[in-house]
Structure 1
Amino acid sequence: MAFGWRCTGVAWPGDAPQLGWSKGAERRVSVLAYGAGLGFRAVGERHCVGARGNVCPLGAVVSVRSTGARCPECARLDRAHSVAADTLLDDPRTYRVYLAWFGPGMVKVGITREERGAARLREQGAVAFTWLGRGPLMAARRTEEVLRAALGVPDRIPYARKRAVRGRLPAEQERSAEVVESYGRAAALQGRGWPESLEPLPLDVVDHAEIFGLGRSAAAKRSVSELVDGGVVAGRLVAAAGPDLHLAVGGDADGDGGGSGGVVVLDTRLITGWELAAVDPAAANDIRVPLIDIGGGGVQGGLF
């Protein structure tokens, strides 16, 4: 089965988001820049993205609303080698424990491979974070569990919640203060639950609002709920956080909230597995895909 270029989602290896593409065994990336136009049309059906860098042997069709874009067999294979699923227990690499902040009252503790640096934090859309410690995988995992229970924080925060607050974040000083407070509570538990093999790391709050482009455009009020065959997405990139691209569309190409279009969030996990054909971003007024209000409203079919 021959396919054209299919999106593999957004990665954050540095301070700029990159869209990944695959065609069989070929790979390439597109570095995204704020202020630049972005436009594509979905072609045909959405297919499984495979697992662990391998093409899905079935070329299975997957749900247009799935954020995983994998068939059951590929999802099982991917999970079988997942640190997050606690199925990879003998990894000899060093891991780091982090404290991430996504909005007021939205803090989580997690782990990531040390060699990845802060890429995992950017991929999750963490507005601010600090490291807590470093050490072997199982020590990092144990610390993560202890701190989740002690701090009363969840193991994950839904992207819908992150989007709902992203347009009205408090000032950087307030963001930092909440991270500092949570770090202090976590550090107070050293010697009382932290494994000895985990090395504590000093407080160093990193804020991502600037590299995400947050605060430079109007708040997004709608998000794409799914793609459809022939559905077009086009606009001007004004911000990005994690897998989300914020696009100024229609009569608001500058993203300042003064036009008739507004800013729409595209969760790029919804475009993985689709064959995408390039279109002129200036064709934004021709876009028609299902949208949903970020604030909790109903689904609407509208121009985007």
Structure 2
Amino acid sequence: MGRTWKCAGLRWSVAGGPVLRWEGGVGSALGWGRRVAFGVVEGGVRVCVGARGNRCAGRREVGARGTGGRCEECGRLDRVGSVAADGKADDPREYRVYLAWFGAGLVKVGITAVERGADRLLEQGAVCFTWLGAGPLMAARRAEELLRVALRVGDRVPYGVKRAVRAVAARDLDAGCAELAELHRRALTLPGWPETLAPQPFSPVDHVQAFGLDDAPAATGEITELTPAAALTGELVAAAGPDLHLATSSHGVVILDTRLMTGWELTSAGANGMFPVRPFPDERTETQTGLF
């Protein structure tokens, strides 16, 4: 067996775009037209990636279809102290509340540290977004909850839904901006808006060009899991959130969620076949009927 690598995930920045990271700190900057090719070693198993910079003590095997790449114990440890799990109530940093749009009827509210800029929105695959308020963490949290209750704006949109409507959403930015504008207006007039959270003006930002969606053909399916002795070769035509849109010779444009890569030993050597691909249904423009 030749040299192998372990993926540490895809990271975004407004300045640098998408970078595929590898264990050991090395990163591979991605650009449109770049060839992406790798396989899983024959007989390989997917091992838990650990938590908060530490290896999994039990080196436990995890399922191929899970996007977390962690065993149950490491998953719990990773959530300890995280902002998402309300584990940092005393965080002194300033936060922003945002509204993110992923497609018709698909809007979420969230928060991110001011120092991170819009990186979090790129990592989530938001087609467009606007800031809503800025201030202390707990005030941002209260505003987030206020929108969930009063306006029924959720804090999560499943990635499978995002993928299925992404191509349509990229062509419908005017509708997205209009939807965000109305929610932004209503949010800032809600009673109970936290006094320490400074309202931010409506200023929509779109990521269509940053994601490469302006020129990319629509994807026809998604890879469901990585499997030993199988491989993927394709040309990168777009990327959004953790997803790479790859033009392949056998399946057209398919989407690879790079979170499926973590925990596997990967190689550049050839393999026996393609990873499993699930085609998107013909009708992909239905709007979400509930929060999840």
TM-score normalized by structure 2? 0.90
Q: Paired residue for 1:273?
A: 263
Aligned partners of 1:116 and 1:53: how far apart in 2? 20
Q: Secondary structure at the match of 2:141?
A: helix
Q: Paired residue for 1:176?
A: 177
Deviation at 1:58, TM superposition (A): 2.2
Q: Secondary structure at the match of 2:168?
A: coil
Q: Can you list the C-alpha shifts for 1:260-295, whole angstroms capped at 9, x where unaligned?
A: x31000011111111211258xx9xx7411111222
Deviation at 1:156, TM superposition (A): 0.5
Alignment partner for residue 289 of structure 1, among 254, 275, 278? 275
Q: Secondary structure at the match of 1:111?
A: strand
Aligned partners of 1:177 and 1:62: how far apart in 2? 42
Matched, 1:86 2:86: yes
Aligned partners of 2:70 and 2:282: how far apart in 1? 27
Q: Secondary structure at the match of 1:68?
A: coil
The number of residue pairs the alignment matches comes to 277
Q: Secondary structure at the match of 2:184?
A: helix
Q: Paired residue for 1:195?
A: 194
Identity over the aligned pairs, expressed in percent? Answer: 54
Structure number with greater CO (CA < 8 Å, separation at least 6) is: 2
Deviation at 1:82, TM superposition (A): 1.6
Q: Paired residue for 1:33?
A: 31
Gap runs ≥5 in structure 2: 284-292
The alignment's C-alpha RMSD in Å is: 1.8
Q: Paired residue for 1:50?
A: 50
Query: Map of 1:113-124 to 2, 5 A cutoff?
Result: 113-124=113-124
Q: Can you list the C-alpha shifts for 1:223-281, whole angstroms capped at 9, x where unaligned?
A: 00000111101100000110110000016xxxxxxxxx31000011111111211258x
Work out whether residues 229 and 273 of structure 2, in 8 Å CA contact, stay in contact via their aligned partners in 1. Answer: no
Letter in 2 for 1:290: P
Letter in 2 for 1:74: C
Deviation at 1:175, TM superposition (A): 2.2
Q: Can you list the C-alpha shifts for 1:182-209, whole angstroms capped at 9, x where unaligned?
A: 11111222xx211111111111110001
Aligned partners of 2:31 and 2:56: how far apart in 1? 31
Q: Secondary structure at the match of 1:58?
A: coil
Letter in 1 for 2:62: V
Deviation at 1:210, TM superposition (A): 0.7
Deviation at 1:4, TM superposition (A): 4.3
Aligned partners of 1:14 and 1:20: how far apart in 2? 16
Aligned partners of 2:79 and 2:280: how far apart in 1? 30
Q: Secondary structure at the match of 1:167?
A: helix
**Stretches of 4+ aligned residues off by more than 6 angstroms:** none
Gap runs ≥5 in structure 1: 252-260, 298-304
Aligned partners of 2:155 and 2:53: how far apart in 1? 26
Aligned partners of 2:25 and 2:58: how far apart in 1? 20
